[in-house]
Chains A and B, each alone.
Chain A
Amino acid sequence: MIRVQSEVFDAGAELNAFSNRVAGAGAVVSFTGVVRDVTGGLSGMEIEHYEGMTEKALAAIRADAMQRWELADALVIHRFGRLEAGEVIMMVATASKHRKDAFEAAEFLMDYLKSRAPFWKKEVTSDGADWVASKDEDEDALSRW
């Protein structure tokens, strides 16, 4: 399942619901991304996305993961809009009969989300607002798959 939304979500409740849906899978791995305050002066974050392309890109990344690993299901939720420090930005969850498949697929989803899903982050501090630059290692991370 793929969801792109501005609304806050409860990562714990989402994980429980996902685990119930895949009951019997044996292994569930999840990752939750939280807005972190690196500089100590962060007042929030603005996440822009490309409506339409985002949903397609996430669905394609998820379908790729489902094909590469033996998964019972995979969940991706990503928010856009204005977020405060400490808020959940996104989560992925994978379920498989095999622990290794669940872990690897979750890492794969994260690596592709970072640099192939059309989201852009802007950090807002008391000094102003700046777009977060992509990192070379994010691009390099794709080569291992």
Chain B
Amino acid sequence: MQVLYFAWVRERVGIPREEVETSAATVNDLVAELRAREERYEVAFADTSALRVALDQELAEFDAPLSGVREVAFFPPMTGG
């Protein structure tokens, strides 16, 4: 699936998007997989309460299932307006 990062999450991970091969059942499982990969993911995902997630461009919870999802995006709370 495509995994996208925005704002400081993007800066910490170092890339805006990547293709990730995963069998993670939920967003939390995917985060655990990413954190286990490399230090930069560990830093970006150190506190998931400071993050938001969107599945196929709809806001979701971290315990949401990933079945059928094509695009996962991680970002800090939004600051529009």
- Contact residues of A with B, CB < 8 Å? 33, 48, 50, 52-53, 56, 78, 89-90, 110, 113-122, 131-134, 138-139
Contact = CB atoms under 8 A, between A and B. Distances in A.
Question: What class of interface size applies to chain B in its complex with A?
Answer: 10 to 19
A74 B12 CA distance: 37
Contacts of B69: none
13 contacts: A90-B81, A113-B80, A115-B80, A118-B54, A118-B78, A119-B81, A120-B6, A120-B7, A120-B76, A131-B76, A132-B79, A134-B76, A134-B79
Given A48-B7, A122-B7, A131-B8, A115 B78 contact: yes
Given A48-B6, A48-B7, A118-B6, A56 B57 contact: yes
Interface of A, secondary structure class, is: mixed
Contacts of A131: 7-8, 76, 79
B41 interface: no
Contact of B75 (A50, A121, A139): A50
A139 B80 CA distance: 12
Contacts of A116: 59, 78
Contact of A90 (B4, B59, B80): B80
Nearest to A129: B11
Of B4, B76, B79, B80, chain A has the most CB atoms within 10 Å of the CB of: B80
Interface of B: 4, 6-8, 10, 54, 57-59, 73, 75-81
Given A50-B57, A52-B57, A78 B80 contact: yes
A52 B71 CA distance: 12
Contacts of B58: 53
A79 to B, nearest CB: 10
Contacts of B4: 50
Nearest to A52: B57
A83 B4 CA distance: 24
Contacts of A117: 78, 80-81
B57 A115 contact: no
